[in-house]
Amino acid sequence: MPQASNGDARPADRVGRALYRVSDILAVIGGLLCCVMATLVTVSVTGRYLFASPVPGDYDLLGILGGCAIFAFLPYCQIKRGNIVVDFFTTGVSPRGRSMLDGIGSALYLFIAVLFTWRLYFGAIELYETSEVLAVINFYRWWTLPFSLFCMVVLIAVIAYSFFRDIGDVRNADAAAGKTNRGE
C-alpha cells in the first residue's frame, strides 16, 4: 500500500469525502443488519429450544440479511483500503512501485466489480419477471437486489476513485523523483 494513500486518512477532495460518507453510511447499515441477524438467531434458537417453534424461514432470512450486509461493507473496505493486501513481496519495493501495483489491483477489481454488477442487474430483472418467492415467508427474492445493486454502484465509484488516486500517487512519485534528480 502506498504511503501517500493512508487508509486511515479521510479523503480531502469533494468526491472522496462524498464517497467516504456514503460508504460510511452503508457500513453502518451493514452493521445494523448484522445486529438483526444476531437477534434473529437468538430468537429462533430460543424459540426452537423452549417452545419447539423457531422463527419461520430463519435460514432464508439469515442468507438474505448476510448478503445485504456483505454488499454494504464492500465500499467501506475499499475506501479505507481494508481489503486484503499481500505486502510480503513488496516490502522492498519503492512507494512508486507499490502505487503502480495498487493501481493494477484497483483496475482488476474495477473490472470484476463492473462484471459482477452487470450480471447482478440481469439476475435481478429475471427474478423480478419470474416473481420467485421464498415460500415459507412469502418474500420475493428480488426485493433486496436494488439495495445490492446500489451498493455495487457505490463500490464501482469507490474503486474508480481509488484507481485515480493510485495513478496520482505514481505521478507524484515521478515528480518527486524528477526534482531529486535535478537537485531541487
* Interatomic CA distance for residues 43 and 155, integer angstroms: 33
Dist CA 108 CA 101 (whole Å) = 11
- pLDDT score, position 2: 39
- Name residues whose C-beta falls within 8 Å of residue 27's C-beta, 6 or more positions apart in sequence: 72, 73, 75, 76
> What average pLDDT does this structure show over 75-102?
82
- Greater confidence (95 vs 115) lies with 115
Amino acid letter for position 183: G
31-87 confidence digits (pLDDT tens): 999 999 999 999 999 999 999 888 998 999 999 999 999 999 999 999 998 776 666
Please answer whether residues 82 and 76 qualify as being in contact, where contact means their C-beta atoms are separated by less than 8 angstroms: yes
* Per-chain mean pLDDT for the chain: 87
